[in-house]
Amino acid sequence: MFSELLSLLGWKPLLPHQELILLSHPASGVDSRFLAHHFLSLAAQTDAPVALLAFHYPFFHYSCIQKKLGHPLEKLGESFHFIDACTQASAPQVTPFNPEEHLNPLEELEQRLRALSYPEGGLVLIDSLLGLQCLASSSEVLQWLLNLQQWAVAKNLCVVLLTAAEDQTLVPILRHMATWQLDVCALASGYNRAVSGLLTVRGPAEGGELRPQATLLQFKVLEHTVKFMAHGTT
């Protein structure tokens, strides 16, 4: 987990419950995927069950980064489930998923996620909205995500979904569904040795509406962590 991010946002070092968290980034220039490791680390630190549906990177990628951060996925043991729709490889803790083998891939994924054990909450991480959109129509994916969100609330789970900011089909709707939005973008001024990019955070307010004002942070990606700071401090 990234302790400075927790401090700046006033978050507790615990995995959120009953929340949909949307991580977005532009198609090029800077990536929000490092934020997924914040939630994976929180889960590993608290021994919370994790289901990771991977369309973008294989297990080896996530495993290496988590080891660098000091919260290896292997620590979770049988509480960690990696559904590989990227390489369809099979290994310990990894279940291959080939959409071409199923008449209704979304229904199969839902059944796999629901079949896992989440006794006291946990994390469901989906590393690509585009990966879901390749399996079915946008309306079917939206209904699938609505069902997932309702199930997550009932099971006390945190759902984290990564997407490209430019998607105008589902992302505008998902922004209304999400409890928290974390949007990453590059610096308008270009390269800076001290700052990798900007992070805009929007969260819930009274009545469930999004906050009218967002929190803007700067971040710097390092070898073994990510540093965060208030915007304009460097």
Q: What is the pLDDT of residue 210?
A: 56
Q: What is the pLDDT of residue 133?
A: 94
Residue 232: left if φ>0, alpha if ψ -120 to 50, beta else—which one? left
Q: What is the pLDDT of residue 234?
A: 63
Q: Are strands 215-221 and 197-202 parallel, antiparallel or unpaired?
A: antiparallel
Q: What is the pLDDT of residue 205?
A: 65
Q: What are the φ/ψ torsions at residue 23 (nearest 5 degrees)?
A: -110, 125
Q: What is the pLDDT of residue 1?
A: 57
Q: What is the pLDDT of residue 191?
A: 67
Per DSSP, 92 falls in state T
44-102 per-position pLDDT tens digit: 888 889 999 999 999 999 999 999 988 888 888 888 999 999 887 767 778 899 999 99
Short-list 31, 10, 11, 20, CA closest to 221? 31
Residues of the chain with pLDDT under 50: none
Q: What is the pLDDT of residue 33?
A: 87
